[in-house]
Amino acid sequence: MNSLPLYRPSVDAGDLVAIAGQIGLVDGRLVAGGAARQTEQALANLVTVLDSAGLTPADVVKVNIYLTTMDDFDVLNERYNAVFGSEPPARTCVAVHELPFGALVELEAWARRRS
């Protein structure tokens, strides 16, 4: 019997919360519209996970970004800046060969609970 692994969108690690990789899925399907729409949806999904953990984008301290082509970097950057503003978290962005579901972009993050 084949079964999908358990997926946890976030995991508490003391004062830190690890946010699992988010891609541009809605209802289990990748959104149409290329890298721009997928980035917008992946960011929206990230914000939803943050919200469910009682956090906001201002609590994010590190983001790792995976693109299937660096040709999409400018599109990603524009949408990323719209969410994280003038004081964004540290980030890494790399090109990878392939992402789940054929996604063009994936974002994972670490956020900090503020006392």
- Of 59, 47, 51, give the one whose Cα is nearest residue 107: 47
Q: How far apart are the first and last CA of the chain?
A: 45
CA pair distance 91, 21, nearest whole angstrom: 14
Do 113 and 55 form a contact (C-beta atoms < 8 A)?
Answer: yes
Is-catalytic flag, 93? yes
Active-site residue, selected from the candidate residues 93, 108, 110, 112: 93
Residues carrying an active site annotation: 93
